[in-house]
A and B are shown apart, each in its own frame.
Chain A
Amino acid sequence: MRPLIEAEEVWFSYSEEVTALRGVSLEVERGEMIAIIGQNGGGKTTLAKHLNGLLKPTRGVVRVRGLDTKETPLEELTSIVGYVFQNPAHQIFTSRVYDEVAYGPTNQGLSKEEVDARVEKALAMVGLEAYRDVHPYDLDYGRMKLLTIASILSMEPEVLLLDEPTSGQDHRGIRAVAELISRLGREGKTILFITHSMRFVAELAERTLVMAEGLIIGDGPTREILTDLELLRRAAIKPPQIAELCLRLRRRGIDVDALTIGEAVDAFSRRLGADAPRRAS
């Protein structure tokens, strides 16, 4: 079966001087949960914007469900791949949470009943049902972020692209987004997210792409990527603290392998022979 998204040798230049992608190739299968990490200016957002046709390759091809993004109308692509922008202020423009979430489905030409149903479902998914009549700018930043996710979920895209979903959020906001992404992943949604939070990557992503200077310099299972110190160093990324702790312990001959707190508790319990209660990660 053909991959859901294919990028072949994609090059993209913003101007004669700025080349953001330098021959990127990528395949995304249905149901995958992929993290895109890398230094600022590495090409993460540019690549993501190619995956729903917001940007078209200068050279190379991007296909979504087999459709060439250069030849397919944007409205068709955005119905397949939903893109949640980093800054909620870039998209919120209505005076009611409900209207904000209804904007996408209305653009898809759905009936009033269908729009109602989609909005209720999306608000329930992100836990904002109680806020449907509130002004979006009266929400705290974390809920505003959830609102922007709901406004894309209501379009029921097959793929969800999230650009730095945890940036600027407090712990509660990060947990809410993490739980939402995890639930959507379990339900079979294909998800790609860009983040600088390695803890977030370790907890959620099955596969991780590492980008630097417009290239994918690493692509593989998250565990392999986050323990490849040389690769992370090239992308100017520090591994998650738990992974770093385990690596240092291994250097001292203590063989513990964990990426998250939950995994670490299990690993230490096994080593110490204790039946320690498992903590939430």
Chain B
Amino acid sequence: MGVVRRVLLDKRVLTGDSIIHRLDPRPKFFFFLWISVLAYVFYDYVLTALFLLVILALAAAAGILRRILLVLAVIVLPGFAFAIPILSVLFPWNETLMFKLHILGFELPLYYEGFTWGLSWPLKIAVCVSSALLFYLTTEPGELIALLFKLRLPYKFIYMVTITLQLIPLLLDEIQTIYQAQLSRGLRTKANPVKRIWNFLALVIPLTLSSLMKVQTRAIALESRGFSAPVRKTCLYDIRLRAGDHLFFSAMIAVTLLLAYLYLLYGFSPIVHLKFYYVAG
């Protein structure tokens, strides 16, 4: 929670002046969608790792590499730590034996199919999370509103998105305060399961009630300023595509064409040449 708060609350990051910050939000948003789709279209851990490296290079250019790595360390490293050992042994489609581990007199066979599955999925998640953060942390709220406005989305939806992003850090702060308030009243963090549920309620109920009260107050404040007025709204912020944005789009198109060619030539695994792609059933 601390890492997420640190990443989301740092306003300095949002107001940076790197080449990535200066890009229009549209290419950054489409980059997030584009690279996330690619990460799922291809089942090739080397290619997925390359996607991740590209995102991390852009993050470094934007000065937010450390923050993204912090989040990845929290979300993705545990994924590797659990998925690789478990799937290497227990994946239902395991066939190709890599080697056998000898632990305490037991023989543990490790299979290639499970290993690559366990390696690929956390990487795919890492690509989605880091590209989303790259977009979020380098786009000012005003630019985000302008982007959604340009996409001609309904105003209530735009507000819903922006308020959610605003509220996440505030809610994290609220949780921290409530947690401290209950700790002051002797809330025990080490307790039996029944007590833990009771402790959980001691946090969730005040959080829910105070959030509902805040939402109600905000709704009244918004309505008193014409939120639901039956007129076509204008937008305070403006965004324009510049040469750098066109270049960014062009690069994405070029890479898409190259990857499409590779897909037609080698299929979903153009570098590692995996022969399997398992789906449910």
Query: Which residues of A are in contact with B by a Cβ distance under 8 Å?
Result: 15, 17, 49, 52, 54, 74-75, 78-79, 82-83, 85, 87, 89-93, 103-104, 107-108, 137, 151-152, 155
Contact = CB atoms under 8 A, between A and B. Distances in A.
B186 interface: yes
A107 B187 contact: yes
A92 B207 CA distance: 10
15 contacts: A52-B184, A78-B183, A83-B180, A85-B180, A85-B181, A85-B184, A90-B178, A91-B185, A92-B205, A93-B206, A93-B209, A103-B186, A107-B188, A151-B185, A155-B186
A91 B182 contact: yes
Given A89-B209, A137-B209, A104 B180 contact: no
Contacts of A92: 205-206, 209
B183 A54 contact: yes
A98 B188 CA distance: 20
A79 B187 CA distance: 11
A15 B82 CA distance: 31
Contacts of A104: 185-186
Nearest to A55: B180
B47 to A, nearest CB: 36
A75 B188 contact: yes
Interface in B94-127: none
Contacts of B205: 92-93
Contacts of A52: 184
B44 to A, nearest CB: 39
Given A15-B6, A54-B180, A89 B186 contact: no
Given A87-B210, A89-B209, A92-B206, A155 B185 contact: yes
Given A54-B180, A103-B202, 13 more contacts: A75-B188, A79-B186, A82-B184, A85-B180, A85-B181, A89-B206, A89-B213, A91-B181, A93-B204, A103-B185, A103-B186, A107-B186, A152-B185
Band of interface residues on B: 20 to 34
Contact of B185 (A17, A107, A137): A107
Contacts of A79: 186
Q: Which of B180, B181, B187, B203 has the most CB of A within 10 A?
A: B181
Nearest to A157: B184
Nearest to A91: B181
A93 B177 CA distance: 14
B201 interface: yes
B107 to A, nearest CB: 45
A135 B116 CA distance: 56
Interface of B: 6, 12, 174, 177-178, 180-188, 201-206, 209-210, 213
Contacts of B201: 93
Contacts of A93: 201-206, 209
B185 A49 contact: no
Contacts of B181: 83, 85, 90-91
A90 B182 CA distance: 8
B184 A90 contact: no
A83 B178 CA distance: 12
Contacts of B183: 54, 74, 78
B16 to A, nearest CB: 14
Contacts of B182: 91
B210 A83 contact: no
A137 B22 CA distance: 49
Contacts of B202: 93, 103
A81 B33 CA distance: 52
A157 to B, nearest CB: 9
A51 B188 CA distance: 19
A151 B187 CA distance: 13
A152 B12 CA distance: 39
Contacts of A151: 185
A92 B187 CA distance: 13
Contacts of A108: 186
Contacts of B209: 89, 92-93, 137
A36 B173 CA distance: 23
Nearest to B210: A89
A85 B185 CA distance: 11
A115 B223 CA distance: 47
A90 B207 CA distance: 7
